[in-house]
Structure 1
Amino acid sequence: MGEQGNEWKGMSVKQKLSKIFDNITVEPILACYILPNVIASLATANMNLEKACRVNLNYSQDICDRISVRNITGIEREEEEIQSLVVRMNYWQSILRSSLPALLIMFLGSFSDRTGRRKPFMLLPMSGEFMTSVGLILCTYFFYEWPMEVAGVIEGLFPALTGSWSTMFMAVFSYMGDVTTLEMRTVRLGVVSMFISLALPAGTLVSGVLYQAIGFYGVFATVAVMYVLGMTYGAFRLKEARTPTPLSGPVCGEFFNPKHVKETFRVAFKSREGNLRTRILLVMVLSVTIFGPIYGEQSVGYLFVRRRFKWDEVDFSLYSTYTTIVNLIGTALGISLLTHKLKMEDSMLGAVAYASKVVAAFFYAFASTSFSFYIVTLIEILGGTGMIAMRSIASKLVPSEELGKINSLFGVCEAVVPVLYQPLYSFVYYQTLSTFPGAFFIVGAIMTIPSVLIFLYLYYLQKVDPIGTVEPIPTSEKPKGQYNETFEAMEM
């Protein structure tokens, strides 16, 4: 590693940039998955609101046009009725979108570990989102013929059948575990997470503007093209980290063998050295308490700011971009300063991150102006580091051949929590819509407190029994994929 560092220091800026680009692996796939997802999200939310008003409730054009521009004086009841209809659809849509991925991911992780195949499970979710985009183009064409529920089924069904976000992140983080050494994993996962964070503001920055400029057709056609570009890159440019193992039988038989589901859960429950099993189980619980509030707030956040601050698509895009940039800065500071320079434990980093989120949630709930809502974001500037800390902890508790399974368990948790949290948040928002719309933030704060406590307990367990983290990959056993030596040399 010292030789790599000396080599890196002797390079010109052009050579360094060339080296970095040569070592890019999953980042373009993530960009072509996350970016169109974010760009389409506002258009999709507005389609549901527009269809609820114009098709399902059959309100007049004047009422729907006024609601579209947030001029709701005198028609507050109609606005509540529209939002209530959309919120009720969120109940069953979250179940549809989450239940199938939760089932699939239990087979995917084990299959990925046994065969060494990560790439297909990055491409599969992208194909589902592409089909969703095509379906939403049809929903636009048949705008007055198809009610809101048809769009809701299309939004949920295709991603559900192809694994959705949980499958994408299972494959990506398993791949990153294959191509990084133990000591560099937190930093490298931080780089990937920062790349994700860059895709988010890029998407949110243009989503509202793009929707107002080119409408439903333009947005859904644009994101469909982006998914095709991502699948093309993944199919022809990305290399598997390990040589795939030949299948011993038919694909369906190998994939859906129930014994492999047992193997996946065995990763969490089997006996291990020291307190490793306890720590793995705690991380599984932690994934629920982390993912839950995220999905819950996403389900009603746009509706909340429309009502509380009278924001339109551009206002929401600008705010989302601002919050993501703040979190990106916080993540960069957290990873470079707290983790790399000060050597702060992952668990303590996570505790700090989620403690800040608890405090911020109370301020969000009572924010009365757009300016105060913006300022509160600074309180949770380190919030983005918590997810990185959790992923890093999990990757260090199991050997490389179990990374797919452990990330599958994360995927199960990530797929299941929307079924629990999104209906809860939607119910709270629905019940408090006319009295205290920000009440769901208080619910989120209460449900985030366990994350802080679990991180602190993981810190304690690591101190009293530091046995059992997996060893770094020896040089002679480095994977055959695109091993990211560049990022390790940069740290020298």
Structure 2
Amino acid sequence: MATMEEAKNQKRKWLKDSLNKVTTEPVMFLYMFAFMLTSVVEQRFYVDRACRVDLGFSDEICTNIASNSSEKVIVQKYVAVFVQYNTIAMHGVPLVLALFLGAWSDKNGGARKGPLLAGLLGKTIYSVMFAVNAWQDSWPLYFSLYTATLPPALTGADLAIFMATFSYVADVTTPEERTLRITLLQVSYLITIPTGVALGKILFNATGESVVICFLVNAALLVVALIYAALRLNWRSAKRVMDTAKVVEKRKPFLCDFFDRQHLADTIRTVFRKRPGSRRAYLWGLLIAMGLYTFHRDESSLMYLYTQLTFNFDLNLYSNFRTYQSGVYVLGILCVMPIMTKVCKLPDAAAVLVGAAAHAAARVVFILAQMPYMLYVGATLSSLGPIVAPVIKSMVTKVVPIRDRGTQSH
């Protein structure tokens, strides 16, 4: 009897300990689920709005854009240029903020919660304003850049969310468990990609192809993420005491404190500082590797245009492909990553090599594809690709001390 009671107590303790370890994973899940729910719908909106409003083609042509080859090429070129400007607008300001955000967060005792809430608020604004743009059917495509993309960029948006979530996990984990925990954080949002795309297609068709409703659902999910983060996470994730000088310095006005030129100097110093055991060269190698890896991150919008132009994909066909592609991503990272790290004891560098090779092989297949099924072959080959980012992030946290983690997380 006592043994059964002890077993129950152990299970309760294990469950409690496991739940206590859950930190930013639900935030990342809700954030990415909201994003993926409207990802394909957003690409379709760009093409449709450019066709109808910006280029002034008839309703018949735009409804059957896949069957009108000459107009399709014109629309594709227009949207491709817009996507480039939209990407610059989306990441330009956060790129500048990145020079200050990580150092400010590190200096203030691992202040990850503030940037995370700001980023989530920015993405909520984006979703609401995108719904407004979709509702105003006479607004040209570039209005979405001015009203939906630029304002949230001032909050750090995606950069702030990723920096805060990954740095938070790095702060509260030991070096031994960090690779697995960061991988699980990666899984928490990767798993939303196939489900989000699939449910987004269902929601879009069920609501009579309403872009407005899709983005309002997106905004609602982000509000839930905001509430969870506000209630569950600590304002400072790093368990260390700030010294008196830092406490006094923190009393400066927020903007003066945030844009302190010392933060810029700290960011540069973190990258160039001499470290024992050739760690500076090691860090540079990791940063370059991550920079090269991220080239494929924003390919989804252009991939939609590519599949539409080459294979006449519509929203449903492209959603099916994206669902499959992201599904094999999740299977790859869930099944293979634990085997690599726990069973085979594969070094982190070897795992990165495997993932990068998988991604490269897939892109070669995409380029050479003559039939739609080849896209699925390429997606299957790249199933191990997503292990690259979490492993590199984990490697960086093992190279730099806790005070520099926010600086390096973006």
Query: Does the pair score TM above 0.5?
Result: yes
The match for 1:27 among 25, 28, 40 is 25
Partner of residue 220 from structure 1, selected from 215, 222, 235: 215
1:256 and 2:277 correspond: no
Could you tell me how far 1:326 is from its partner in structure 2?
Answer: 0.9
**Offset of residue 152 of structure 1:** 2.7
1:77 paired to 2:70? yes
The correspondence of residues 381-392 of structure 1 with structure 2, limited to 5 A, is 381-392=383-394
Deviation at 1:262, TM superposition (A): 0.7
Residue 59 (structure 2) aligned to one of 54, 58, 61? 61
SS of structure 1 residue aligned to 2:277: coil
Deviations 1:70-119 (A, max 9, x none): 3x1xx211111111111111222222111100101111111111112111
RMSD: 2.0
TM-fit CA distance, 1:242: 3.8
What amino acid is aligned across from residue 378 of structure 1 in structure 2?
Answer: T
C-alpha contact (below 8 Å) 1:270/1:277 kept by paired residues: yes
Shift, 1:43, TM fit: 2.3
Match of 1:238 in 2: 233
What SS does the corresponding residue of 1:176 show, helix, strand or coil? Answer: helix
For the 8 Å contact 1:8–1:16, the answer to whether it is kept is no
Task: Select 1:49's aligned residue among 25, 47, 50.
Answer: 47
The count of corresponding residues between Structure 1 and Structure 2 is 394
Separation (CA, whole Å) in 2 of partners of 1:58 and 1:181: 58
Using the size of structure 1 for normalisation, the TM-score is 0.76
Compared CA separation, residues 77 and 184, structure 1 to 2 (3 A): same
Q: Which residue of 1 aligns with 2:204?
A: 211
Shift of 1:20: 2.9
In 2, are the aligned partners of 1:90 and 1:299 still within 8 Å (CA)?
Answer: yes
Residue 194 of structure 1 and its aligned partner are, at CA, apart by 1.1
After superposition, the C-alpha distances for 1:316-353 in whole angstroms (9 at most, x for unaligned) are: 22221211221112112332111111111111110111
In 2 relative to 1, CA 9–270 (structure 1 residues): closer, same or farther, beyond 3 Å? farther
Q: CA deviation at 1:154?
A: 3.1
**Does the Cα contact within 8 Å between 2:172 and 2:238 map onto a contact in 1?**
no
Matches within 5 A, 1:70-469: 70=66, 72=67, 75-116=68-109, 117-144=111-138, 146-214=139-207, 215-240=210-235, 241-242=237-238, 246=247, 247-295=250-298, 297-407=299-409, 411=410
Secondary structure of the equivalent of 1:271? coil
Task: Give the structure with the larger helix fraction.
Answer: 2
Deviation at 1:155, TM superposition (A): 3.9
- Amino acid in the other structure paired with 1:276: R
| Contact kept in structure 1, 2:198 and 2:319, CA below 8 Å | yes
Structure 1 stretches of 5 or more lacking a match? 1-6, 412-492
Q: Name segments (4+ residues, structure 1) moved above 3 Å.
A: 7-12, 14-19, 242-246
The alpha carbon displacement at 1:9 in A equals 11
Q: Sequence identity, in percent?
A: 26
Q: Is the 8 A contact 2:89 2:145 kept in 1?
A: no
Q: 1:317 to 1:21 in 2, by over 3 A?
A: farther
For 1:339-390, what per-residue CA distance to the aligned partner results, in whole angstroms no more than 9, with x for missing partners? 1111111111101111122222211212222223212222222111111221
The residue identity in structure 1 corresponding to 2:112 is R
The residue type equivalent to 1:233 in the other structure is: Y
